[in-house]
Structure 1
Amino acid sequence: MNMLLSEYNEEFSALIHQYQLTEEQLRFTGTPEMPLKIALTNPFIHPIVGIENGRLTNFFVLDEKKDVSLYTENEHAILLRTFSTDSRYQGQGYAKKVLQQLPKFTQELFPAADEIVLAVNKENSAAQALYKKSGFLPMDKIVEGIAGPQYVMTLGLL
């Protein structure tokens, strides 16, 4: 079965309530609840779910305007944020599948987009390695995040 990426809607709410993150994961990412709340009043915030075999394995947000300028001057960039894998499915390749489909999915959702940027915590070496394997390149930029310094990474589209 293929990984399905979809914009969040109410039909996924039961799955969201079952989504689990460990304390270790929460050092580097947030739960889906806050971005879902923000998205209700901010049309530029797009919560995305990764579903495989009826299970919600991944959650993330594509931000087309809100905080993009903190990371890049490119007005056509999309910010990937709050990327996580349900703790029950970690280490099983789901995040890799999501990131492999992300460029095509992003271009379908945002035809004008030509770049995806993200910030990853300096201490989160596992996530850095995953992003690098998925084609993201480090930029010469470090931003201060809630949990410490973050490397900014980019993936060109088109």
Structure 2
Amino acid sequence: MLLKEYTYAYSALIAQYQLTEAQLRFTGTPEIPLKLSRSNPSIHPIVGIENERLTNFFVLDERKDVALYADNEHAVLLRTFSTDHRYQGKGYAKKALRLLHDFTKKLFPTADEIILAVNKKNISAQTLYKKSGFVPMDKIVEGAAGPQYVMTLSLL
């Protein structure tokens, strides 16, 4: 698996990316962050590619909303993490998260932490993040779909 910053070359794969209604309860489609990234250079859409297939999509936000979750000015926010439903349960999310530490350090050399918010009802995502090294913080934020736990991954 490769993690890459989104470029127009991936637009055909994005157009085929599929999320179910159940997934959309907890995440968003790639279209909105892609649009936001055109006018906001702190939003970095990332694609997970395996065998020329787009298996995962997420955003690394270096400024826009980081302060909502952490006081650390060197933190990067992971958001909109998803797996195309056709590839769920095949280990692609685990692979993408395993690569995330080194990928983030290359993209943001001064970053020392990745933070995320995960819905309290999304137990499978919480489990995945914990198995990938994220640690729950003592912070809960209100999200569009209800309360969310804030989690952190050290880049040190």
- After TM superposition, the score normalised by the length of structure 1 is 0.98
The list of structure 1 runs, each at least 4 consecutive aligned residues, that deviate by more than 3 angstroms after superposition, is none
Which segments of 5 or more consecutive residues in structure 1 lack a partner in the other structure? none
Identity %: 76
Query: For 1:71-108, what per-residue CA distance to the aligned partner results, in whole angstroms no more than 9, with x for missing partners?
Result: 00000000000000000000000000000000000000
The match for 1:68 is 66
Q: Which amino acid letter does the alignment assign opposite residue 106 of structure 2?
A: E
Letter in 2 for 1:155: L
Q: 1:136 Cα deviation (Å)?
A: 0.1
1:79 — aligned with what? Answer: 77
2:100 is aligned to 102
Counterpart Cα distance in 1 of 2:42 and 2:6: 13
User: What residue is the counterpart of 2:36 in the other structure?
Assistant: 38
Alignment partners' CA distance in 2, 1:101 and 1:84: 15
Structure 1 residue 47 displacement after superposition: 0.1
Cα shift at 1:22: 0.1
Partner residue in 1 for 2:110 = 112
SS of corresponding position for 1:150: strand
Equivalent position SS for 1:50:
strand
Equivalent residue runs for 1:8-157 within 5 Å: 8-157=6-155
2 CA distance for matches of 1:53 and 1:20? 17
How far apart are 1:33 and its partner, in Å? 0.2
Q: Which amino acid aligns with 1:67?
A: D
SS in 2 for 1:12: helix
Separation in structure 2 between the aligned mates of residue 15 and residue 100 of structure 1, nearest angstrom: 22
For structure 2, the 5+ residue unaligned runs are none
Provide the TM-score with structure 2 as the length reference: 1.00
> Paired residues, what number?
156
Three-state SS of the structure 2 residue aligned to 1:43 is coil
- Offset of residue 32 of structure 1: 0.1
- Measured in 2, the distance between the counterparts of 1:157 and 1:109 equals 12
- Aligned partners of 2:100, 2:29: CA distance in 1, in Å? 20
Match for 1:15: what amino acid? L
Structure 1 residues 107-147: Cα deviation after superposition (integer angstroms, max 9, x where no partner): 00000000000000000000000000000000000000000
